[in-house]
Structure 1
Amino acid sequence: MRSLHLPFTNWILLCTIFCCLSSIAGGQNSNKGTDFWVGFMSHIEGVGGTRGAQMALYITSDVSTSGTVFVNGIGSSQNFNVTANTVTELTIPTGAYVDNIQAALNKGIHIVSKDPIVVFAHIYAYVISGATLVLPTNTLGKDYYVLSAQPSATETYSYSQFMVIATEDATQVEITPSALTVNGNPAGVPFTVLLNKGEVYQVQSKTDLSGSHVASTGNDSTGCKRIAVFGGTTWSPLGCIQADTGDNLYQQHYPVSTWGREYITIPFATRKRDDFKIVASENNTIININGTIINLNAGQTYSTSSSGIALHITSNNPISVAQYSITQVCDGITGDPEMILLTPVEQNIRMITMYLTTHYQIVGNYINVLIKDQFKNSFRINGAAPKSAFIPVGNTGYVYLQEKLAAGSYTLSADSGFNAIAYGFGDIESYGYSAGSNIEEVDKKIIANTSIASNITGTCVNTPIFFTISLPYATSHLVWDFGNGQTFTVDNPVTSSTAPPYIYNYVNLATNNTVIYTQPGTYIIKAIATRNGLTGCEAFDELIYNLLIEDLPKVITQPVYTMCSNEPVVNIINLIGQRPSGKYTFKGDGLIDSLFNPATAGSGPHNIEIINTSINGNCSQLIDFIINVNPAPFVDAGDEIDIDLGETAQLNAKVSGDILDFTWAADTSLSNPNSLTPIVTPTKNTLYKLYVNSENGCTAVDSVLVRVYTDLEVPNAFSPNNDGVNDTWQISGIENYPDSQVYIYNRYGEKVFYSKGYGIPWDGARNSNHPLPPATYYYVIKPNNPRIPNPLVGPVTIIY
Structure 2
Amino acid sequence: MCLRISFILIILSFSAMTFAQDKSNKGKEFWLGYGYNSWFFVPDGALPPNSQELNLYLSTEAAATVTVSIPNTGWSQTLTIPANTVDASILVPKTGANDARIISEGLSNKAVHIVSDTPIVVFAHMYNTQTSGATMLIPVETYGYKYYSLNYSQSQSNSRVPYSYSTTTANAPNWHSWFYVVASEDNTRLLITPSDTTQSGMLPGQTFTVNLNKGEVYNVMGKIVNGGNQLWQASKDLTGSKVVSVPGNDGNCHPFALFSGSGGIRLCYFDGGEVMMQQAFPVQAWGTRYLTYHMLNNTNTDINDPFKNFYRIAVDDPTTAVLRNGIPLTGLTNNFYYEIVDSTGGDYITADKPIMVAQYTPGGNRCWNNSQFAYGDPEMIYLSPLEQGSKDALFYANRKTFIDFNYLNVQVKTAGIPSLKLDGNPFDPANIITHPNNPAYSVAVARITGAAGQHRLTCDSIFNATIYGLGYFESYGYNVGTFVNNLNNYTEIKNTLNTNGQIDTFTCPNTPVRLFAKLAHPATSITWKLSQVPGITPNADSVITNPVPIRIEVINGRTYYVYTLQQDFTFSSPGVYKIPVSYSATVIENCNQTEKAELTILVKPGPAADFSISNQLCLADTVRFTGTTPAGLFNYTSYLWNFDDATTQNTVNAKKRFATTGPHDVRYRVYADNGCIGDTTKTITIVNGTGPALTLNITGNRCKDSVLSFTSSIVPSANPTTWYWDFGGGQTITSTTNNIATHSYPAAGTNILVRHSATLTTGCNPDTIDVIIPVIHNNPSASFSIVTDTLCAKKPIQFLSTTTGVASWHWDFSNGTGNDVPPFFHTYNSAGPYTITMTIRDANGCGSAPVSNTITINPLPAINAGPDKVFSLGASTTLDATISNPSNYTFLWTPSTFLNSATILNPVSTPDILTTYTITATDKITFCTNKDGVIVNPVSKLFIPTAFTPNNDGKNDRWNIPGLALYPEALVTVFDRAGQKMFESKNYFNNSWNGSYGGGGILPGGVYVYIILLNDDKKQVLKGTVTLIR
Q: How do residues 461-500 of structure 1 correspond to structure 2 at under 5 angstroms? A: 461-482=509-530, 483=533, 484=536, 485-495=539-549, 496-497=551-552
Task: Please tell me whether the aligned partners of residues 130 and 401 of structure 2 are also in contact (alpha carbons under 8 angstroms).
Answer: no
Q: Which residue of 1 aligns with 2:124?
A: 121
Q: Which residue of 1 aligns with 2:459?
A: 414
Is 1:274 equivalent to 2:317 in the alignment?
no
Task: Please tell me whether the aligned partners of residues 376 and 390 of structure 1 are also in contact (alpha carbons under 8 angstroms).
Answer: no
Question: After superposition, what is the alpha-carbon deviation per residue over 1:168-224, rounded to whole angstroms, capped at 9, x for unaligned?
Answer: 222221111122111111122222222222111111111211111111123799432
Q: Which residue of 1 aligns with 2:591?
A: 537
Q: CA deviation at 1:357?
A: 5.1
SS across alignment from 2:119: coil
Task: Please tell me whether the aligned partners of residues 23 and 485 of structure 2 are also in contact (alpha carbons under 8 angstroms).
Answer: no
Q: How do residues 44-443 of structure 1 correspond to structure 2 at under 5 angstroms? A: 44-46=38-40, 49=48, 51-88=50-87, 89-94=89-94, 95-151=98-154, 154-205=171-222, 206-218=235-247, 222-240=251-269, 242-243=270-271, 245-269=272-296, 270=298, 272-290=307-325, 291-294=327-330, 296=332, 300-328=336-364, 330=366, 331-333=371-373, 334-356=375-397, 358=399, 360-388=401-429, 389-394=432-437, 397-407=440-450, 410-443=455-488
SS across alignment from 1:138: helix
Amino acid at match of 1:262: R
SS across alignment from 2:141: helix
Amino acid at match of 1:432: G
User: 1:445 aligned to 490, 515, 533, which one?
Assistant: 490
The separation in 2 between residues aligned to 1:237 and 1:297, in whole angstroms, is: 21
Task: Please tell me whether the aligned partners of residues 579 and 599 of structure 2 are also in contact (alpha carbons under 8 angstroms).
Answer: yes
Q: Which residue of 1 aligns with 2:860?
A: none
Task: Please tell me whether the aligned partners of residues 145 and 299 of structure 1 are also in contact (alpha carbons under 8 angstroms).
Answer: no
Amino acid at match of 2:336: Q
* Superposition CA RMSD, Å: 3.9
Task: Please tell me whether the aligned partners of residues 284 and 296 of structure 1 are also in contact (alpha carbons under 8 angstroms).
Answer: no
Q: CA deviation at 1:27?
A: 4.2
SS across alignment from 1:460: coil
Q: How do residues 591-606 of structure 1 correspond to structure 2 at under 5 angstroms? A: none
Q: Which has the larger radius of gyration?
A: 2
Q: Which residue of 1 aligns with 2:746?
A: none
Q: CA deviation at 1:548?
A: 5.0
SS across alignment from 2:321: strand
Question: After superposition, what is the alpha-carbon deviation per residue over 1:745-774, rounded to whole angstroms, capped at 9, x for unaligned?
Answer: xxxxxxxxxxxxxxxxxxxxxxxxxxxxxx
Q: How do residues 688-699 of structure 1 correspond to structure 2 at under 5 angstroms? A: none
- Consecutive unaligned residues of structure 1, counting only runs of 5 or more, are 1-25, 561-576, 586-618, 622-692, 698-800
Amino acid at match of 1:415: D
The separation in 1 between residues aligned to 2:507 and 2:138, in whole angstroms, is: 28
The separation in 2 between residues aligned to 1:476 and 1:310, in whole angstroms, is: 41
Task: Please tell me whether the aligned partners of residues 219 and 537 of structure 1 are also in contact (alpha carbons under 8 angstroms).
Answer: no
Question: Cα–Cα, structure 1 residues 445 and 296, in superposed 2: closer, same or farther, change >3 Å?
Answer: farther
Question: Cα–Cα, structure 1 residues 220 and 45, in superposed 2: closer, same or farther, change >3 Å?
Answer: closer
The separation in 1 between residues aligned to 2:115 and 2:583, in whole angstroms, is: 31
Amino acid at match of 2:190: V
Amino acid at match of 1:497: I
Q: CA deviation at 1:289?
A: 1.9
Amino acid at match of 2:22: N
Aligned length: 552
The separation in 2 between residues aligned to 1:420 and 1:533, in whole angstroms, is: 33
Q: CA deviation at 1:122?
A: 2.1
Is 1:528 equivalent to 2:582 in the alignment?
yes
Question: Cα–Cα, structure 1 residues 355 and 74, in superposed 2: closer, same or farther, change >3 Å?
Answer: closer
Question: Cα–Cα, structure 1 residues 50 and 181, in superposed 2: closer, same or farther, change >3 Å?
Answer: closer
Question: Cα–Cα, structure 1 residues 366 and 694, in superposed 2: closer, same or farther, change >3 Å?
Answer: farther
The separation in 2 between residues aligned to 1:41 and 1:204, in whole angstroms, is: 11
SS across alignment from 2:72: helix
Q: How do residues 562-641 of structure 1 correspond to structure 2 at under 5 angstroms? A: none
Q: Which residue of 1 aligns with 2:972?
A: none
The separation in 2 between residues aligned to 1:375 and 1:214, in whole angstroms, is: 38
Task: Please tell me whether the aligned partners of residues 281 and 298 of structure 1 are also in contact (alpha carbons under 8 angstroms).
Answer: no
Question: After superposition, what is the alpha-carbon deviation per residue over 1:10-50, rounded to whole angstroms, capped at 9, x for unaligned?
Answer: xxxxxxxxxxxxxxxx9412578232211111111217957
Question: Cα–Cα, structure 1 residues 395 and 480, in superposed 2: closer, same or farther, change >3 Å?
Answer: same
Task: Please tell me whether the aligned partners of residues 40 and 96 of structure 1 are also in contact (alpha carbons under 8 angstroms).
Answer: no
Q: CA deviation at 1:434?
A: 1.2
Task: Please tell me whether the aligned partners of residues 96 and 108 of structure 1 are also in contact (alpha carbons under 8 angstroms).
Answer: no
Q: Which residue of 1 aligns with 2:22?
A: 29
Amino acid at match of 2:171: T
Amino acid at match of 1:33: G
The separation in 2 between residues aligned to 1:230 and 1:150, in whole angstroms, is: 17
Q: CA deviation at 1:397?
A: 2.9
Q: CA deviation at 1:471?
A: 1.9
SS across alignment from 1:74: coil
Identity of aligned residues (%): 30
Task: Please tell me whether the aligned partners of residues 131 and 475 of structure 2 are also in contact (alpha carbons under 8 angstroms).
Answer: no
The separation in 1 between residues aligned to 2:265 and 2:317, in whole angstroms, is: 28
Amino acid at match of 2:21: Q
Q: CA deviation at 1:162?
A: 0.6
Question: Cα–Cα, structure 1 residues 449 and 338, in superposed 2: closer, same or farther, change >3 Å?
Answer: farther
Q: CA deviation at 1:340?
A: 0.7
Task: Please tell me whether the aligned partners of residues 51 and 126 of structure 1 are also in contact (alpha carbons under 8 angstroms).
Answer: no
Q: Which residue of 2 aligns with 1:713?
A: none
Q: CA deviation at 1:164?
A: 0.8
Of stretches 252-261 and 209-218 in structure 1, the one that deviates more from structure 2 is 209-218
The separation in 1 between residues aligned to 2:508 and 2:184, in whole angstroms, is: 36
Task: Please tell me whether the aligned partners of residues 361 and 377 of structure 2 are also in contact (alpha carbons under 8 angstroms).
Answer: yes
Amino acid at match of 1:40: Y
The separation in 1 between residues aligned to 2:130 and 2:738, in whole angstroms, is: 87
Return the TM-score normalized by structure 2: 0.49
Task: Please tell me whether the aligned partners of residues 178 and 209 of structure 1 are also in contact (alpha carbons under 8 angstroms).
Answer: yes
SS across alignment from 1:45: helix
Q: Which residue of 2 aligns with 1:41?
A: 35
Question: After superposition, what is the alpha-carbon deviation per residue over 1:512-561, rounded to whole angstroms, capped at 9, x for unaligned?
Answer: xx32112244533111112248786142122124445454794869899x
The separation in 1 between residues aligned to 2:148 and 2:504, in whole angstroms, is: 29
User: 2:563 aligned to 505, 522, 527, which one?
Assistant: 505
The separation in 2 between residues aligned to 1:238 and 1:378, in whole angstroms, is: 37
Q: Which residue of 1 aligns with 2:850?
A: none
Amino acid at match of 2:408: I
Q: CA deviation at 1:123?
A: 2.1
SS across alignment from 2:174: coil
